[in-house]
Amino acid sequence: MSSRNASFDLPPTARSVRVARHVVLELLRAWRVPHDGEDAALLVTELVANVVDHVRGDDDLTLEVGTSEDWLRIAVVDGSAVRPVVRELTLDEPRGRGMRMVQAIADRWGAEDHGGGKRVWFELRPPGM
């Protein structure tokens, strides 16, 4: 598989959650990668929704999508240095399960400093690897 990369700036608004999901699904189709598009779309939805919910400001978020070797890597960059937290599940909090899903579904994930903010990323292998 050859390497491919794409990057998109989006405003940190609720509409960008849907746009990011659509962009990821369309890129995966166009690139004809074997990865599970629904898993990738679900996880990117969680990452972008976290930015919309938790990061205030006028800065755009950046969606990065790339393939290399057999890996699919998707990242969301924002201007906040506050890292995401995988929360314990509780019955009294209906929200806050997004990073738990990322942790459960992604083959690898993490967060790193990036230009005064952070990059939160996940990677998926193709099925059967």
Fold classified for 4-124: Heat Shock Protein 90 (3.30.565)
Position 94 pLDDT exceeds 60: no
Report field, pTM of the whole predicted structure over 0.85: yes
- What's the rounded mean pLDDT across residues 33-42? 95
48-79 residue pLDDT tens: 999 998 886 667 899 999 999 889 999 999 99
- Domain parsing of the chain, residue ranges: 4-124
- What's the rounded mean pLDDT across residues 80-94? 73
User: What span, in angstroms and rounded, lies between the C-alpha atoms of 120 and 82?
Assistant: 11
Token pair in block for residue 7: 């990057």
In the prediction, which pLDDT does 82 show?
85
Q: Residue 3 in 3-state DSSP?
A: coil
User: What span, in angstroms and rounded, lies between the C-alpha atoms of 22 and 19?
Assistant: 5
Beta bridge partners of 66: 5, 73
Q: Residue 103 in 3-state DSSP?
A: helix
Beta bridge partners of 113: 118
